[in-house]
Amino acid sequence: MPLEETLDIPVKDAVLKGNLHIPDHPKGMIIFSHGSGSSRLSPRNRLVARELQKYGFATLLFDLLTEEEDRTYQHRFEIEMLTYRLSLVTQWLTRQKDYHNWNIGYFGASTGAASALKAATILGPEVIKAIVSRGGRPDLAMDDLNSVESPTLLLVGGLDTEVIMLNELAFNKLSCQKEMTVISGASHLFEESGKLEKVTEYARRWFMKYLFWQSTKVEKDYIE
C-alpha cells in the first residue's frame, strides 16, 4: 500500500514541515524545492508530484521556510540559506534507515531551481542523480553551474521571454549532461491548459532515464 506521511524535519535552526508519499515499488525519491512564496502546498508542484507518483516515484514536498520566516519577504530570495536547508533535509532523509540507499532527484521551481543546483554541487552526483527545473532561475546559481555534475533538464514556458534568456545563459554555463526545452504557449507559471501536464511528461522521462535504478531495456528504449 502507498504510504502518505506528514513529517517534522529537524534542521539545525528550525523544524520544517514536509509531505512524503511512497508508492508501491518506488523507482526513486524526488525532492521538490519550491520557488519564492510557495510551500509544500503549492497547487502546481502538488499536481506534478501526483503525476510522478502515478509512475512510481516517491516524492517529498517540504517548506524551505517556517511560517514565521516566510513573513519576512526577503527570506524567499536568500538562495544560500535555501540551499543550506535543502542540503540538510536531503542529508536527513538519506540517514533514515528506510531511504538511505535510494536514488534522489530534485525538482526545482522558480528560485527553488537555483537552490537545487547549488545543493547538488554540495552533495555531488553520488547523491543527486538528476535535476529538473520548471520555470526556474538557474542564473541565480551562476557561479556554481560549472560544478554541477547531475544531469539537468531546464523547462521554460515559451511566453516567458525574460526567463528563457536567463535559462539560456545558465544552460551555456552548465557542463553536465543537460537539455533545455521551451514549452510553447506556456507562461511562467504554466497555468495554461495542458502545460503542467507537458512539464510532468518531460520530467518523468528525465527521471526515468537518470534516476530510476531498475530501468529495463524496454523502458529505456521508450524514453530515448
Residue spans of the chain under pLDDT 70: 1, 35-39, 70, 72-76, 213-224
Please give the pLDDT value at position 44: 86
Q: C-alpha 95: how far from its chain's center?
A: 20
For 33, residues 6+ apart whose C-beta sits below 8 A from its C-beta are: 64, 82, 86, 106, 107, 108, 109, 112, 113, 115, 116, 119
- What count of Cα atoms within 13 Å lies in the side-chain half-sphere of residue 205? 14
For 73, residues 6+ apart whose C-beta sits below 8 A from its C-beta are: none
Please give the pLDDT value at position 213: 60
For 139, residues 6+ apart whose C-beta sits below 8 A from its C-beta are: 114, 166, 167, 169, 170
Helix residue spans in the chain (DSSP H) = 43-54, 67-70, 79-95, 111-123, 161-173, 195-210, 217-223
Please give the pLDDT value at position 50: 94
Whose CA is closest to 139, among 164, 107, 104, 120?
Answer: 164
Cβ neighbour number for residue 163 with a 10 Å cutoff: 20
Number of separate domains in the chain = 1
CA–CA separation, 100 vs 22, rounded Å?
Answer: 14
CATH number at residue 130: 3.40.50.1820
- Is 31:57 a contact under the CB 8 Å cutoff? no
Please give the pLDDT value at position 183: 98
Q: Which domain holds residue 184?
A: 3-223
For 178, residues 6+ apart whose C-beta sits below 8 A from its C-beta are: 151, 152, 153, 154, 171
CA–CA separation, 189 vs 61, rounded Å?
Answer: 18
